Amino acid sequence: MMLIVGLGNPGPNYEHTRHNIGFMVIDELVKRQNAQKLSSSSFQGELFKFSNHFLLKPLTFMNLSGISIAAVKKFYKIDEVVVIHDDLDLPFGTLRFKKGGGHGGHNGLKSADEHISKEYVRVRMGIGKPEHKGEVASYVLSDFSKEEQGYLKEWIATASEAVIELLTKSLEDVSSKYTIKDTSKNIKLQ
């Protein structure tokens, strides 16, 4: 049994923003797995189930994501958690995997760490970073550029396939098969 969490912010204003790439992957997984929506008012999130696994989009806003994750994890007695999130420290379109580690200033990860410990698998989706540090908040809450949008579907599909393989394969195997380090061949960014 695994809990797969996509980080993001609820509401139409945030739907297509860089910070919501985790939600976008969960939406794709719900479609691919024909997951059934569960009543989730007590979890402060949208919760879905397929096979014996759960998909979660916390609706607490990013900074409080850990509250929703911990509630589902505790209620269903789930040991394995995967968190899909945007990562400013990686170039746009990259895909990396790791277990544990620091939050790197990501408030969603910081909240998860506080509520469930750091021992979960992270699916890190690189969104690049703005030129100036003072622009981080507006950058992560802005929509993907036109050029980036051209690659989103393929990138989300790859991340979804990787997450499904995490259900049956080791982190090392999934990482060696699905890691994307160089996106220059796929994306024509300006």
Can you tell me the mean pLDDT for 5-9?
98
Does residue 186 register a pLDDT over 90? no
At residue 184, the pLDDT reads 66
The candidate with the shortest Cα–Cα distance to 18, out of 188, 157, 151, is 151
State pLDDT tens for residues 112-168.
Answer: 999 999 999 999 999 999 988 889 999 999 999 999 999 999 999 999 999 999 999
Domain assignment present for residue 9? The answer is yes
- Residues 6 or more apart whose Cβ sits within 8 Å of residue 14: 8, 20, 141
CB-based burial, 140-177: b 16+ in 10 Å, e otherwise: beeebeeebeebeeebbebbbbbbbebbeeeeeebbee
Q: Evaluate whether residue 37 is within a structural domain.
A: yes
Residue closest to 79 by CA, chosen among 54, 62, 43, 50: 54
Supply the pLDDT for residue 169: 97
Q: What is the pLDDT of residues 10-29, one digit of tens each?
A: 999 999 999 999 999 999 99
Asked if residue 104 is part of any domain, the answer here is yes
> Are 21 and 125 a contacting pair, CB within 8 Å?
yes
Q: With respect to residue 189, please indicate whether it lies within any of the assigned structural domains.
A: no
- Reported as a single tens digit per residue, the pLDDT across 29-80 is 999 999 999 976 789 999 999 999 999 999 999 999 999 999 999 999 999 9
CATH number at residue 44: 3.40.50.1470
Instruction: pLDDT band for 190, please (50, 70, 90 cuts).
Output: very low
Domain count, the chain: 1
| Domain presence at residue 185 | no
- Catalytically active residues are 19
Alpha-carbon distances, residue 189 vs 17, 150, 153, 184 (angstroms): 17, 10, 16, 8
| Residue 71 belongs to some domain of the structure | yes
Give the range of the structural domain holding residue 154, as residue numbers without chain letter: 2-178
pLDDT beyond 70 at 188:
no
Q: Which token pair is 13?
A: 């204003």
